[in-house]
Every structure is written in C-alpha cells, then in structure tokens.
Amino acid sequence: MQTEHKKIGIWTSTSLVVGNMIGAGVFLMPSALASFGSISLIGWLFSALGAIVIAKVFANLSKLIPSSDGGPYAFTKAGLGDFAGFLVGWGYLISVWTTNAAIAVSLVSALSTFFPILAQNSSIALATGLACLWLLTWVNMMGVYASGRVILMTTILKIVPLVLVAIGGLLFIDLQNLLPFNMSGTSSWQAITATTTLTFFAFLGIECATIPSSSIDDPGQNISKATMRGVWIAAAVYIFSTAAIMGMIPASQLQNSITPFADAAEKIYGNGAKYWVSAGAAIAAFGALNGFVLVQGQMPYAMAKDKLFPAFFAKQNRKGVPANGVIVSSIIITLLMFMNNSKNLAGQFKLLILLSTFFTLLPYLLTTVSYLIVRAKQAATYTKTKTLTAIVISIMAFSFSMWMLIGSGQEIVYWGFIMLMMGVPFYVYMVYKK
C-alpha cells in the first residue's frame, strides 16, 4: 500500500510547486515582455496576485479534503460531482501530456548551447529529448521519494542563476531603460491585460503539490504550506529578476535577445556567466519535466480509484507508484514529440500546447466554484468572518481565472470545449461499468 512507502516532506513538496512552475520558458520571458515596456511589471504583479488567490483556494481545500489524490480532480468532484470532476481530470491529463512534450523540446533547446549539433540535427535532438523523458520515467518508477530528491536538487540549482541575476542586476540598473513606461501602442489597461495573460502562464503548476496528496507527509498541513510558499517564491524570483534585466538592458536590445538572462549575467559577472545561465535553463526544463512526469501517473490513478478511469491505472508497483499511468503517459508524450518533429504536424502540436493552457485554467475555474460549495456544506463550523473571507477569495480567484480564459482567445476555448466533449462517451462507458 502507498502508506508503506517513504513520503515527501514540506521542502520537497514546495520544490515540486516551484520546480513545476519555473521551467526553461521563464528564461525568455523578459524578451517577450520588452515590446510592452516596463508596464509589463504591472502585469507580473497582477498575475502574481491572481496566482496567490488561486493558490489560497487550493491550500484551503487541501485542509478541508486532505489525502485527496488528483488535486483539482478530487476537489472539483467533491463540490460539483463525478461528471465535472471527470472533465477536469480528463482535460488535465491532456494538459500534462502536451506540457511534458513541450518541456522536453525546450530542454533540448537549452542543451544546444553546449551541444550545437542538437540545433543542427533534428533526429539527434528528438532522440535526446526522448532519452531525458524515459530517464525521468525510470526515476519516477523508483518511488515518489526518489523523484522528490531530484525535484528538490534541480529546483535549487535552477533558482540560483535567477536570484544571482536579480541581486547583481540591482547594481547595473539604469532607470532610463525603464522608459517609456508603455511601449505597446495600446492603452495601459490593454497592455496590462496582455502582459498579465502572458506572465500568468509562468505560474501554471500551482496545483502540483495537491495531486500526489497521499504521498506527502501530513498532507492536511504540508500541502497548504507548500502551495503558498511555492507561489510566493516563484513570484519573487520572476518579478525581481525581470525588473533587474529590464533596468539593465534597453528595450530595443532586449526584445531582440534570445538569451536575456545570459546577456544580463554576462554584463554583471563576465563572459563565462552565460554558460551557467544556460545550464540553469537546462536544469529548469529537466526539473520541470521530472515534476510533471510524477504528476502524469497520479491523475489517472486517482480517477481509476473512483472507477471513473480503467482499473488498469489504479495498479501500483512495489514502490507505490501508479506505474501504468506513468508509462502510458510517457508513450503518448513520445508520440507527441514525434508529431512535433514532423514539419507537416508541427502546427498541430503548437495548437495542442496552447490548449494545455486552457486545460489548466479550467480546473482553476471549477475548483474555485467547488471550494464555495464544500465550504457551504461545512458553514456551521466557521465564523461569519471566515465564511466571508472564503467568499471573497473564491470570487477573486474565479474572476481572475475567467479573465485568463477569455485572454487565451476564442479559438483555444472553442477547440478546448470540443476536446473536453470527446471525453464524454468515455465517461458514460465508465459509469455504465460501475
């Protein structure tokens, strides 16, 4: 049984949240924001605030419903029923598969700094990405504790270069580089909305500590703490490092940079610094991939235990790992990576990546609704002040999630809805089998 195996503690749980949020993509974020101007820092603040209130919802639910494997699936199911829970779990699986395929590709891209052949030969690049994926699949077969050690180490190593740039950059800031404040050519509100939507993608993964709930020591306390600490750490690293880089490098130069953190590190610490920043980007991708490989088996495991997914996925190996879910997911990710390697299918792959955002935002939206329902069922045990606080947090989290969903675009919402509905016949079949 799962309880017989060594569980992960507060710091490893925190590193799971931080590590899954901070991937290689954040190393390019300052360049993506440069065309907007320093108003993008307001976007970072808005997205951080949104992430914090959503994290608070997940943190509170982890106390109300402890040891609930599947996180957003279990929370949605508790408040809105089996069907809504199934849709969240189904969509989240699609998100994890596409996210992991994208992370594996970004890992290879980061490694190309040290091994240029990876940028020149697509077959070698694909083989390298697949090797990393299946190496981490094997690591996760060794148990959550073993995977957690890797997550903790890689999280520390990926944060170090970001923090060094943020701190060192304070000595090189030129306030003139932060002007003009709004370079977007649109209104301030439009610019803030656009940059909030863009930067919030860096916070996806808020929920990760809630998914392997039964594998975490004292989940009722540690998941809540890990979720909140993880978001605060990520927010601080994101905002301060971006502010430092924008203050160091003129916007005209920054928006054309493909290695903004490396450029900043080189200016602060000398020529060799770009290599350890590139190493940090590779470690960031490797750590995030490991974290999501851990998650990819836990979601079908939780659904299978509730008989909403085939019993095949409820089986654990001797280390307490839902191995079937991990392996099947890695096979699907492998197919997606082959898809990306084909010029004819690359466009479809990009669409799937965008859809992964939709399938992550939807659980945030429905979880906030479920939170109110779960709290309402236990209203008698809370004071009016605590109840009012819960309502305010839920409204804020719901409104922000809806704002981000709208910001993702009509096409993404359209195709996301269709892919969700494709799971309905499967749900009907599983209910019929019960």
Task: Round to whole Å and give the CA distance between 85 and 366.
Answer: 9
Owner of token pair 């009907």: 428
| pLDDT attached to residue 246 | 94
Residue 349 — pLDDT band, cuts 50, 70, 90? low
Residue 67 — pLDDT band, cuts 50, 70, 90? confident
Q: Tens digit of pLDDT for each residue in 293-317?
A: 999 999 999 999 999 999 999 999 9
Residue 47 — pLDDT band, cuts 50, 70, 90? very high
Task: Round to whole Å and give the CA distance between 186 and 183.
Answer: 8
Higher pLDDT, 18 or 66: 18
| Domains of the chain from N-terminus onward | 2-433 (1.20.1740.10)
Q: Tens digit of pLDDT for each residue in 123-135?
A: 998 999 999 999 9
3-state secondary structure 142-175: CCHHHHHHHHHHHHHHHHHHHHHHHHHHCCCCCH
Express as a percent the part of the chain with pLDDT over 90.
54
pTM: 0.90
Task: Round to whole Å and give the CA distance between 12 and 32.
Answer: 31
Residue 376 — pLDDT band, cuts 50, 70, 90? confident
Closest CA to 207 of 37, 401, 378, 424: 401
| pLDDT attached to residue 1 | 40
| pLDDT attached to residue 287 | 92
320: left (phi over 0), alpha (psi -120 to 50) or beta: left
Residue 236 — pLDDT band, cuts 50, 70, 90? very high
Cα angle 193, 197, 200; round to 5: 130
Residue 339 — pLDDT band, cuts 50, 70, 90? confident
Residue 17 — pLDDT band, cuts 50, 70, 90? very high
Mean pLDDT confidence for 412-417: 86
| pLDDT attached to residue 81 | 94
Does residue 84 have a pLDDT over 50? Answer: yes
Q: Is 270 exposed, middle or buried (0-12, 13-18, 19+ CB in 10 A)?
A: exposed
What are the residues whose beta carbons fall under 8 Å from the beta carbon of 63, sequence distance 6 or more?
A: 220, 221, 224
Poorest-confidence range of 212-221, 307-316, 371-380? 371-380
Residue 46 — pLDDT band, cuts 50, 70, 90? very high
Poorest-confidence range of 101-105, 153-157, 226-230, 235-239? 101-105
| pLDDT attached to residue 238 | 93
Mean pLDDT confidence for 194-212: 90
| pLDDT attached to residue 424 | 92
Mean pLDDT confidence for 392-409: 90
User: Could you tell me how many residues make up the chain?
Assistant: 434
Does residue 175 have a pLDDT over 50? Answer: yes
| pLDDT attached to residue 353 | 67
Express as a percent the part of the chain with pLDDT over 70.
96
Does residue 167 have a pLDDT over 60? Answer: yes
Mean pLDDT confidence for 357-361: 86
